[in-house]
Amino acid sequence: MARHYKYITFSDRREIAALYQANARPADIAGRLGVTTATIYRELKRGETVGEDGAPVLDRNRRRAYNPVIAQQTVQANFRRRGRTPTDSLQGGFDGDAV
């Protein structure tokens, strides 16, 4: 059986942020996006917001805050570090000026 890999796009990241803010469980978010629960946990870690003191910022649900822009910037930085071309790293047409 062949594996099907899926990159999370910026619109997926915005949906993750909205669902997470609405207090949805990572398993529910994963089911809605068609990815594994582990993928959602990694994505939440990637977009984790930290304060000036380096401590994680908590959202209104007392969970670590998730920012889709930070997650997208992290992914793009990782692609640049690995040597991908700029058009490959856009993932869904993210434009930093549009945020």
Vertex 65 angle, CA 61 and 66, to 5°: 125
Sequence ranges of the domains in the chain: 10-89
> What is the value of pTM for the model shown?
0.74
Three-state SS across 55-85? CECECCCCCECECHHHHHHHHHHHHHHHCCC
Are 46 and 75 in contact by the 8 Å Cβ rule? The answer is: yes
- Give per-residue pLDDT as tens, 4-31: 777 899 999 999 999 999 999 999 999 9
Pick out the chain residues at pLDDT < 50.
99
